[in-house]
């Protein structure tokens, strides 16, 4: 099995410690089973309704949805956070997900003038500016170019932004859920740029969306020629409407606002456009009142998704699975540490599955919880050696004027009753 | 960018050849753009409705569905293929998908008595038989064990089964669509077996589902202790109802029928149970009337998903993207070859993204189509050196009595008008 926990690689809890936990569970389950020998659990010993009747037929759900028991695992927004739901954001229910892939159906979405409906027949992509051959592509034209694939996280620059001022929002979904991770397929942008012929003075591109907001961002030519993609598919199928159908830009490792949806134009210029979305917005207002711009890359970050305020511990003490996500816009996650005591002591978590560059990475730590309160933290280290900082370390440099690029360490207070609260530690 | 086509690694069409195709497209697009300079395309030069009005708000779709333009990309069944839709199968629309992940919503499903609704609260898993401690786990018990993750294909043993008798079903979806590929998270079965304590005489497990069909399969202990998983999550979220919510068995590389859904019991025995599903069904009836059993592993296979009968070529000659899927139950796909002339000549396709063991692998071949008819074939080679055989080579050994384990080479006839038909070549 790929990446399964080997007998001796459960970090943080030695084999002996875990077996102790496991044995405790086993003894419990065994006691239960023994009890059931005299007082059997009818859910396993008796024939149930679902074993004596037909279930749903194969033609009942041409396209399936989650079972109703999971109806709480949905995107949610915070009404007071933005002025209008057509220029707003919602949040991925990361507290209830596992693994690394985010289903499109519950992946956060941000738009500035609503999610538009744009057919492939009506779709056009223009490349103009400092090019030898200005071009207009139909969707079918784009489908004739060689395709690439990659898995990448997309994180809003404002993810965790409310945390600059302290623990303000309850719920892992609301504090850190402006992120998703999908497998994309599309055309490398550099193939389209080569088709148009970028002139030597062309040092920047400007990517613009077809929606009313005309969300547009400048991207240096080096990045545009590196790993930027015009994507048509996410997680195997067409992009959903709210994710930019039929084509969006994928800008691996860089802030989500640059992943222009409903992409309609790539302009090639000798300088940045300095649009609204990269001047009055998506710049970092520093303590001295100046705005720091071109902070495109999302630095290494991690968050424990369970236990967390929306994912309390209901089973009491004993074996407890701690899990979370880590990522870095600079490459692969090299290591994730977890603290149970608010950052005083750290132990290395297990990376479960592959750590891909610029993609979400899943980590686990299996502990034997004694039932006392814990201050849970996680800390990502990426392959460049960068270590995720504390919120206070970030505040010391960036102050409190800013809502963007908060990759500070998040703390969850796990209480003896199993409830979890968003807190800060000094 | 991960796995993007480098300038010099577009196999089958040399850089020169591809640039020729690209240039042809460029010239075409350029001509179009030039034409538009005098007769502009209003879809890009004029302000459109979707750029002057609001789209859908972020709170409109807590859980999103595909846009209505993609409503043809759904599971489909073939009514005459089985006696009842509650004991039947449907097919993944692989002709319309890209990349490697299959969304749960359109991933094929097979069940023998309908998809049942089983809550986590009502869920129980029993381990009994030759164990030191017979155990009954609640769902919450299972969630306290260390978790692993893996990406794996699940293929019905009958996938391509109608092709034994020749090209009988039109459509890549119907001929080869009993397959999906997801990222699973769950508990390695061997951790649960260790908890129960397998006795030395325990050489087989028997996995049984909670639905009325009691679908049950015997699995050798070596496999059960290797990479078999009790999975709760697929592609990040809970298993869908039709995929076995809340827990199914994942048996990487082995036929789909063994991936027992709504898993309720693991029995440990000294021999195989020889249940209905592994004797009268899911055995290979040979030409001499004897049935070959224990053919669990899905051998290396591939299929071109586009162009294909449901994915014709609408754009005429010139640059054409050929793409498909390859897989092997024995490990990684090492190479995929594509033939344009029914198997006389072969060229190596590009593997796009990572070739993971026992998981779907995407391949592409970019050609400059001259508009003449092609007989498209693909041929997978796995890391063991096994080469996907022709249908005739399989028939020579296995005859025509059997519907299972057809991994023969599929042929699509691309006609000058762009239509594609399922055919056989001598």
What digits encode the pLDDT tens for the residues A156-205?
999 999 899 887 788 999 999 999 999 999 999 999 999 999 999 999 99
Q: Would you place residue A289 in the very low, low, confident or very high pLDDT band (cuts 50, 70, 90)? A: very high
Burial class (CB in 10 A: 0-12, 13-18, 19+), A345: exposed
Query: For chain A, how are helix, strand and coil distributed in percent, rounded to 5?
Result: 20, 30, 50
Structure tokens at B243: 């995929």
The counts of H helices and E strands in chain A are 7, 23
User: ipTM of this model?
Assistant: 0.91
Taking each helix axis from N to C end, the angle separating A15-38 and B189-196, rounded to the nearest 10 degrees, works out to 60
Q: Which residues contact B309 (CB under 8 A, 6 or more apart)?
A: B95, B170, B171, B172, B412, B420, B421, B422
Domain that holds residue B393: 301-423
Q: What is the pLDDT of residue A17?
A: 27
**Among A residues 34-93, those touching chain B with beta carbons less than 8 Å apart:** 36, 41, 43-44, 48, 50-67, 69-70, 73-77, 84-86, 88-90
**In the sheet where B76-77 sits, what is the strand order?**
B76-77, B88-91, B110-111
Rg value, chain B, Cα: 24
Q: Would you place residue B39 in the very low, low, confident or very high pLDDT band (cuts 50, 70, 90)? A: low
Q: Does B95 touch chain A (CB under 8 A)?
A: no
Q: Would you place residue B426 in the very low, low, confident or very high pLDDT band (cuts 50, 70, 90)? A: confident
Q: Which of A328, A302, A325 is nearest to A384 (CA)?
A: A328
Alpha-carbon distance of B348 to B146, in angstroms, equals 41
Q: Would you place residue A39 in the very low, low, confident or very high pLDDT band (cuts 50, 70, 90)? A: low
pLDDT at B19 over 70: no
Question: How close does chain A come to B342, measured CA to CA in Å?
Answer: 23
User: For residues B202 and B127, is the Cβ–Cβ distance under 8 A?
Assistant: no
Write out chain B residues lying below 8 Å of A113, CB-based: 54-55
Between strands A110-111 and A88-89, the pairing is antiparallel
pLDDT in tens, A48-83: 999 999 999 999 999 999 999 999 999 999 888 888
Same domain, A115 and A253: yes
Show which of B239, B268, B292 is a domain's final residue.
B292
Mean pLDDT of B313-331: 97
Same domain, A253 and A394: no
In a domain, A288, yes or no: no
In a domain, B148, yes or no: yes
Mean pLDDT of B285-299: 96
Q: Would you place residue B166 in the very low, low, confident or very high pLDDT band (cuts 50, 70, 90)? A: confident
DSSP H or E run through A392: helix A391-398
Strand partners, A396: none
Closest residue in A to B15 (Cα) is: A146
- The enclosing domain of B81 has a CATH number of 3.90.420.10
What is the count of structural domains for chain B? 2
Q: Which of A239, A58, A106, A123 is nearest to B70 (CA)?
A: A239
Mean pLDDT of B132-149: 97
Same domain, A180 and A104: yes
DSSP A100: S
Alpha-carbon distance of A232 to B98, in angstroms, equals 9
How many residues are there in chain A?
426
Q: Does B16 touch chain A (CB under 8 A)?
A: no
DSSP H or E run through A42: helix A42-45
In a domain, B95, yes or no: yes
Mean pLDDT of B223-252: 98
Phi, psi of A76 (to 5 degrees): -135, 150
Alpha-carbon distance of A230 to A190, in angstroms, equals 10
In a domain, B379, yes or no: yes
Q: Does A128 touch chain B (CB under 8 A)?
A: no
Q: What is the pLDDT of residue A168?
A: 79
Test B64 with A104 for CB contact under 8 angstroms: yes
pLDDT at A5 over 90: no
Same domain, B318 and B214: no
Phi, psi of A37 (to 5 degrees): -60, -35
Quickly tell me which residue has 């049935």 as its tokens.
B291
Test B116 with A195 for CB contact under 8 angstroms: no
Cβ count within 10 A of residue B425:
16
Higher pLDDT, B426 or A119: A119
Same domain, B283 and B306: no
Show which of B238, B260, B292 is a domain's final residue.
B292
Ordered DSSP codes for B322-383: EEEEEE-TTS-EEEEEEESBTTSS-EEPEEES---TTS-EEEEEEEEE-SS-EEEEEEEEET
Ordered DSSP codes for B376-404: EEEEEEETT--BPPPHHHHHHHH-SS--S
**Among B residues 389-418, those touching chain A with beta carbons less than 8 Å apart:** none
pLDDT at B309 over 50: yes
Same domain, B156 and B102: yes
Q: What is the mean pLDDT of chain B?
A: 90
pLDDT at A416 over 70: yes
User: For residues B244 and B204, is the Cβ–Cβ distance under 8 A?
Assistant: no
Test A353 with B149 for CB contact under 8 angstroms: yes
Q: Does A147 touch chain B (CB under 8 A)?
A: yes
pLDDT in tens, A194-242: 999 999 999 999 999 999 998 999 999 999 999 999 999 999 999 999 9
Same domain, B224 and B334: no
Q: What is the pLDDT of residue B127?
A: 97
pLDDT at B29 over 50: no
Q: What is the pLDDT of residue A45?
A: 87
Question: How close does chain B come to A182, measured CA to CA in Å?
Answer: 9
In a domain, A22, yes or no: no
Higher pLDDT, B157 or A24: B157
Closest residue in B to A139 (Cα) is: B315
In a domain, A321, yes or no: yes
Test A105 with B110 for CB contact under 8 angstroms: no
Q: Which of B380, B387, B388, B322 is nearest to B355 (CA)?
A: B380
Test B188 with A110 for CB contact under 8 angstroms: no
Test B212 with A50 for CB contact under 8 angstroms: yes
pLDDT in tens, A88-130: 999 999 999 999 999 999 999 999 999 999 999 999 999 999 9
- How many Cβ pairs closer than 8 A exist between chain A and B? 441
In a domain, B46, yes or no: no
Share of chain B above pLDDT 90, in %: 83
Write out chain B residues lying below 8 Å of A36, CB-based: 136
Question: How close does chain A come to B378, measured CA to CA in Å?
Answer: 18
Structure tokens at A355: 């750590």
Which of A64, A182, A240 best tests the B interface by mutation, with the highest count of B CBs <10 A? A64
Test B136 with A41 for CB contact under 8 angstroms: yes
Peptide bond into A211 cis (omega under 30): no
pLDDT at A11 over 90: no
User: For residues B201 and B244, is the Cβ–Cβ distance under 8 A?
Assistant: no
Same domain, A123 and A264: yes
Distance of CA A318 to the CA centre of its chain: 30
Cα–Cα distances in angstroms (integers) from residue A101 to residues A254, B93, B199, B235, in the given order:
18, 20, 38, 5
Cα–Cα distances in angstroms (integers) from residue B360 to residues B15, B41, B290, B300, B380, in the given order:
27, 40, 32, 11, 11
Mean pLDDT of B376-400: 97
Same domain, B173 and B274: yes
Show which of B238, B259, B292 is a domain's final residue.
B292
Same domain, B141 and B241: yes
Q: Would you place residue B11 in the very low, low, confident or very high pLDDT band (cuts 50, 70, 90)? A: very low
Same domain, A314 and A382: yes
DSSP B94: G
Which of A81, A85, A99 best tests the B interface by mutation, with the highest count of B CBs <10 A? A99
In a domain, B66, yes or no: no
Phi-psi category of residue B86: left, alpha or beta, with phi > 0 → left and psi -120 to 50 → alpha: alpha
Q: What is the mean pLDDT of chain A?
A: 90
Q: What is the pLDDT of residue B180?
A: 98
Q: What is the pLDDT of residue A321?
A: 98
- The enclosing domain of A401 has a CATH number of 2.60.40.650
Write out chain B residues lying below 8 Å of A352, CB-based: 147-149, 185
- Three-class secondary structure of residue B29 per DSSP: helix
Q: Which residues contact B385 (CB under 8 A, 6 or more apart)?
A: B334
Same domain, B249 and B307: no
Question: How close does chain B come to A390, measured CA to CA in Å?
Answer: 28
Structure tokens at B154: 């699940």
**Among B residues 98-117, those touching chain A with beta carbons less than 8 Å apart:** 98-106, 109-111, 113-117
Q: Which of B262, B240, B228 is nearest to B107 (CA)?
A: B240
């Amino acid at each position: 099995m790929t990446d399964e926990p080997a007998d001796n690689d459960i970090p943080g809890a030695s084999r002996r410690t875990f077996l102790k936990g496991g044995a405790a569970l086993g003894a419990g389950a065994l006691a239960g089973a023994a009890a059931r020998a005299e007082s059997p659990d009818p859910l396993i010993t008796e024939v149930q309704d679902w074993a004596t009747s037909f279930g749903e037929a194969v033609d009942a759900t041409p396209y399936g949805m989650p079972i109703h028991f999971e109806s709480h695992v949905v995107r949610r927004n915070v009404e007071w956070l933005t002025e209008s739901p057509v220029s707003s954001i919602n949040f991925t229910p990361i507290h209830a997900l596992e693994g690394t892939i985010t289903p499109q159906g519950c992946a956060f979405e941000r738009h500035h003038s609503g999610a538009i409906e744009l057919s492939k027949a009506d779709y056009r992509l223009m490349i103009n500016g400092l090019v030898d051959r200005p071009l207009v592509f139909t969707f079918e034209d784009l489908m004739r170019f060689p395709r690439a694939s990659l898995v990448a996280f997309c994180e809003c620059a404002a993810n965790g932004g409310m945390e600059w001022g302290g623990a303000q929002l309850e719920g892992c979904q609301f504090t850190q859920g402006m992120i998703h991770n999908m497998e994309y397929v599309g055309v490398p942008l550099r193939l389209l740029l080569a088709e148009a012929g970028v002139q030597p003075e062309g040092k920047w591109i400007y990517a613009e969306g077809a929606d009313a907001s005309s969300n547009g961002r400048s991207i240096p030519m080096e990045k545009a020629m590196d790993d930027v993609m015009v994507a048509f598919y996410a997680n195997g199928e067409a992009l959903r409407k709210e994710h930019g159908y039929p084509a969006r830009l994928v800008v691996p490792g860089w802030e989500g606002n640059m992943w222009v949806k409903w992409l309609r134009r790539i302009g090639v210029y000798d300088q940045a456009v300095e649009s609204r979305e990269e001047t009055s917005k998506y710049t970092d207002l520093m303590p001295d009142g100046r705005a720091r711009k071109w902070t495109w890359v999302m630095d290494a970050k991690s968050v424990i998704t369970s236990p967390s305020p929306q994912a309390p511990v209901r089973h009491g003490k004993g074996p407890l699975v701690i899990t979370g996500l880590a990522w870095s816009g600079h490459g692969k996650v090299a290591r994730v540490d977890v603290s149970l005591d608010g950052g005083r002591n750290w132990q290395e978590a297990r990376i479960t599955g592959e750590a891909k560059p610029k993609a979400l990475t899943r980590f686990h730590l299996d502990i034997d919880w004694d039932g006392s309160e814990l201050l849970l933290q996680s800390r990502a280290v990426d392959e460049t050696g960068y270590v995720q900082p504390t919120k206070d370390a970030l505040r010391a440099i960036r102050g409190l004027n800013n809502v963007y690029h908060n990759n500070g360490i998040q703390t969850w207070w796990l209480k003896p009753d199993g409830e979890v609260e968003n807190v800060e530690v000094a």
